[in-house]
Amino acid sequence: MTAPLEEPATARRVEVRKTYKLFVGGAFPRSESGRSYVVQDTAGRFLANASAASRKDARNAVQAARKAFAGWSSRTPYNRGQVLYRVAEVLEGRRAQFIDEVQRSEGVGRRQARALVNLTVDRLVWYAGWADKIGQVVGGTNPVAGPYLNFSVPEPTGVVAVLAPSGSSLLGLVSVLAPVIVTGNTVVVASSHQRPLPAITFSEVLATSDVPGGVVNVLTGPLGDTAPTLASHLDVNAVDLIGLVGDAERATELEQSAADNLKRVLRAPVREPDWARDPGLERMTAFLETKTVWHPIGV
């Protein structure tokens, strides 16, 4: 029997800090620009140097998301549901880490941080269950006036760019991310500029929970560099502007850019929603297309 390990009593342990990088195509690269920026907690204390993603990083992320789309969108809904549930499982196991991270990023108390993390796990479980049900709720057969079988099914829009909520760094992030991917879209997320760290730590959860590389890509850094590239990119099919609450001018500019290839645009509301509320279907249906198939009936 070995003796219990004893840490030296002399000094506080020097912690091993994490390098926060981007999450693109299933890997964690630094920004190709080599730039980073200082992330502080709400009291102004240094937390980390996060990667400042460039326009080129944004394009790389779109490329990765496009590459992943065919595979992810053709998974069975049951399978996508299991993958999302797996994300919830892995997140559950790392709750303590996320409670710390949310507390530091958002400046909330321990009890509040715990509630936010718990809600995040539950939100993932909620969306995981939608994978194989949304099609029945928003699709169906249509009674047409003729000898035809006619049915409508929802299909993913494609590559979706999400400007993540600026305030709610984990619950808000997951509440906008999960509804996009559960239906088969792939996504590029520009995380909260001020509070990017939970997004990167959450990427580690994604990377270890069967989500194929490229399905979710996470950028950190000033939105001024990444958002215009994402909104105008011709291989992006839709954009969620939720991160621009209170910035009507930039939201208008990006919506105008999005018109170049008729991206579906989910506009920013007047204020950031209460993420604890029942999300409804809107964040899923905003990034679904309805396909209607006809076939004659005969003998």
Partner 1 sequence: MAQPFDYAPAPESRSVVDIRSSYGLFIGGEFVDPVAGRSFKTLNPATEEVLAEVSDADDADVDRAVGAARRAFTRVWSRMSGRDRSKYLFRIARVLQERGRELAVLESIDNGKPIKESRDVDVPLAAQWFFYYAGWADKLDYALPGRPGPPRPLGVAGQVIPWNFPLLMLAWKIAPALACGNTVVLKPAETTPLTALLFAEICQQADLPAGVVNIVTGAGATGRALVAHEDVDKVAFTGSTDVGKSIARAVAGTRKKVTLELGGKGANIVFDDAPLDEAVEGVVNGIFFNQGQVCCAGSRLLVQESVADDVLDRLKHRMATLRVGDPLDKNTDVGAINSAEQLTRIRELSASGDSEGAERWSPPCDLPAHGFWFPPTIFTGVSQAHRIAREEIFGPVLSVLTFRTPGEAVDKANNTPFGLSVGVWSDKGSRIMGAAGRLRAGVVWANTFNRFDPGSPFGGYQESGYGREGGRHGLAAYLR
Q: Which residue number, 93 or 140, has a Cβ lying nearer to partner 1? A: 140
Residue with tokens 């029997």: 1
Cα–Cα distance for residue pair 231/163, rounded to 1 Å:
10
292 contacts partner 1 (rule: CB under 8 A): yes
Token pair of 293 as six digits: 């198939």
Q: Which of 107, 233, 131 lies closest to 179, judged by CA?
A: 131
Alpha-helical runs (H) found in 107-247: 110-130, 134-138, 171-182, 197-207, 223-232
Q: Which of 11, 43, 145, 299 binds partner 1 (CB under 8 A)?
A: 145
Around Cβ 10, how many Cβ atoms within 10 Å? 5
Sole window of 58-66, 94-102, 151-159, 178-186 interacting with partner 1 (rule: CB under 8 A): 151-159
Instruction: Please state, in angstroms and as integers, the Cα–Cα distance from residue 87 to each residue in 3, 44, 174, 185, following that order.
Output: 37, 32, 11, 16
150 contacts partner 1 (rule: CB under 8 A): yes
43 contacts partner 1 (rule: CB under 8 A): no
224 contacts partner 1 (rule: CB under 8 A): no
Sole window of 38-46, 78-86, 186-194, 288-296 interacting with partner 1 (rule: CB under 8 A): 288-296
Within 8 A by CB and 6+ apart from 259, the residues are none
Q: Which of 30, 148, 207, 209 binds partner 1 (CB under 8 A)?
A: 148
Q: Which residue number, 26 or 139, has a Cβ lying nearer to partner 1? A: 139
180 contacts partner 1 (rule: CB under 8 A): no
Per CB under 8 A, residues contacting partner 1 are 137-138, 142-146, 148, 150, 152, 155, 157-158, 237, 248, 251-253, 255-256, 258-262, 264-265, 280-282, 289-296
